[in-house]
Amino acid sequence: MSPSLLAIGLGNPGAKYEDTRHNVGHQVIDALSGRLDISLQHESDALVGWGRHADQKIGLAVPLTYMNRSGDAVAGLHDYYDLPLDRLLVIVDDLHLPVGTIRLRPAGSSGGHNGLAHVAQRLGTTEFSRLRIGIGDDFPDGRQSDYVLSPFTEEQHPAARSAREDAEDAVLTMARDDIDAAMNRFN
């Protein structure tokens, strides 16, 4: 049976980045792996695991590359598993969305996100699904890098947690049904 979905959460590898805004993609995959009892194993440039949800085969992955080189891992997984692009979902942080918000799209531009831009470059297309998780943009001019590489504030934690939980549910809805059903429910 071919997989209904391979969800790939972008972020940076290493403990020092674990709880940062830039790693919400990793955080969603970590939570889903626990929720679905899927163990992630090292494969090339990523941690990957496969399991089942609602009679569907679902894959979870986190690249072991840094965010700006995420396309190497995503393209490698896409090629290795010979997946159609409509069965690939990339999960990322988004400065343009308020904390607590998610947006699911079947395709589109990088929106200035370097990780998404590298994925599009390596796949040779922007025609892949993406789930953006809002991290807000409350930072002084020139401090974007510091902001995305810092944790959510205490005030942001409840909204950030809610967005991650919605993102988990959106991934499962997409695996069980399709992207349209997930967009209708979560956008």
Hey, which residues are catalytic here? 22
∠ CA 135-138-144, rounded to 5°: 80
Could you tell me if 150 and 160 are in contact, meaning their C-beta atoms sit under 8 angstroms apart?
no
- What does the block give as tokens for 148? 């995305």
Structure tokens at 183: 């967009």
3-state secondary structure of 135: coil
State the amino acid at position 179 in one-letter form: I
Tokens for 41?
């194993």
As to burial, measured by CB atoms within 10 angstroms (0-12 exposed, 13-18 middle, 19+ buried), residue 177 is: middle
What's the CA gap between 51 and 14, in Å, rounded?
25
Q: Angle, to 10 degrees, between the axis of helix 157-176 and the axis of helix 179-186?
A: 150
Query: Closest Cα partner for 89 from 121, 131, 122?
Result: 131
